[in-house]
Structure 1
Amino acid sequence: MYEDFKVTDRWTDEQLHCVWKGTVVAIATRHADATDIRFAVNGKPVWIAMPNLAWVEHKRRTGYVITDYLAAQTAGRYLQHAIQSGYDNGREMYTMTIDEVLEHANAVVKEAGRTDNLPSLPVINEDLRPEDEMQIHLPGEPA
């Protein structure tokens, strides 16, 4: 769906390849009450900031939580629409409103049919533990 997609830029007609790269809770990194979803757009980083209150509001309205998979798909759908509409092309960070998160999350669930139909996020390497891939080990752990 929206974890790896191609879209044509409205203004330049350039074909852009968008790939989900990660999800970061921005409270720690930017001291913001948001969750940042990172994409690579033709290799360049683009961040979609989603307000954490959207998780609370979504749960209040629907009774369901926004999972990591749904958050990535929601941000990807928003990014695709931003590129197609020509919304401030070339930005490195986009900030969604609570209503935008709810609108795009609902659209993603409707497209997928249900949340367990959402594609899983990409795995770096099935044969390698993430800490080995990133070469991060705690002191005393075997390398």
Structure 2
Amino acid sequence: MYEDFTIADHWTGEELHCVWKGTIVAIATRHADATDIRFAVNHKPVWIAMPNMAWVEMKRTTGHVITDYLAAQAAGRYLKSIIGSGYDNGREMYTMTVEEVLEHAQAVVKEVGHTSELPSLPVINDNVQPETLMGRLPADNVKIPVSATTPKHPSDNIPTAN
């Protein structure tokens, strides 16, 4: 979906590869009432700042919450939309409004059908899913015994170079 995608720049036609890199609560890092979602766009950092009030508004208006997975997907969808419409590609940070967060989050959920269908994060590599290395998280709502999914040691499932 939007954690790893390629899109052509609106003005130059250059292919831009966008990959989610992390989510940081900006209260601690830049004293902002926002959550920053970091992407690498052709290996250059681009931050999408999402106001924390959007989490409150989503819960208030829909009764649902914005999960970490959903926030990353909504920010990625927003990034893809601004690149496609000719954003100012010299900037390193873009700030979404509360309305934009709600719009993109709801559009992502509509695309996948349910938040349980969102891709896992982090993107370790295309061949390794995080639940293989780290086990399932309680929020994954999967009725699989932890012992069935968790290796004896995390390094047991790391692919080795031949």
2:32 maps to: 32
Distance 2:26 2:62 in 1: 25
Shift of 1:88: 1.7
Measure the CA separation in 1 of the matches of 2:90 and 2:105. 24
Query: By how many angstroms is 1:89 displaced?
Result: 2.1
Query: Alignment partner of 2:54: what SS?
Result: helix
1:101 partner letter:
V
Deviation at 1:33, TM superposition (A): 0.1
Displacement after TM superposition at 1:82 (Å):
0.5
- Which secondary structure state, in structure 1, belongs to the residue aligned with residue 88 of structure 2? coil
Structure 2 residue aligned with 1:140: none
What is the alpha-carbon distance in structure 2 between the residues aligned to residue 17 and residue 123 of structure 1? 14
SS of the residue 1:99 aligns to: helix
Q: Which residue of 2 aligns with 1:47?
A: 47
Q: How does 1:26-105 map to 2 (within 5 A)?
A: 26-105=26-105
1:123 CA displacement? 4.8
Which residue pairs with 2:138 in the alignment? none
Q: Cα deviation per residue 1:29-64 (whole Å; 9 max; x = unaligned)? A: 000000000000000000000000000000001101
CA distance in 2, matches of 1:76, 1:112: 14
Number of residues of Structure 1 aligned to a counterpart in Structure 2? 128
TM-score normalised by structure 1 residue count: 0.86
| Ranges in structure 2 where 5+ consecutive residues have no aligned partner | 125-129, 134-153, 156-162
Q: Which has the larger radius of gyration?
A: 2
* Residue 87 of structure 1, CA deviation: 1.9
2:120 aligns with 120
Identity of aligned residues (%): 78
Deviations 1:65-114 (A, max 9, x none): 10000000000000000100002222100000000000000100000111
In 1, Cα distance between the equivalents of 2:72 and 2:8?
20
Which amino acid counterpart does residue 56 of structure 1 have in structure 2? V
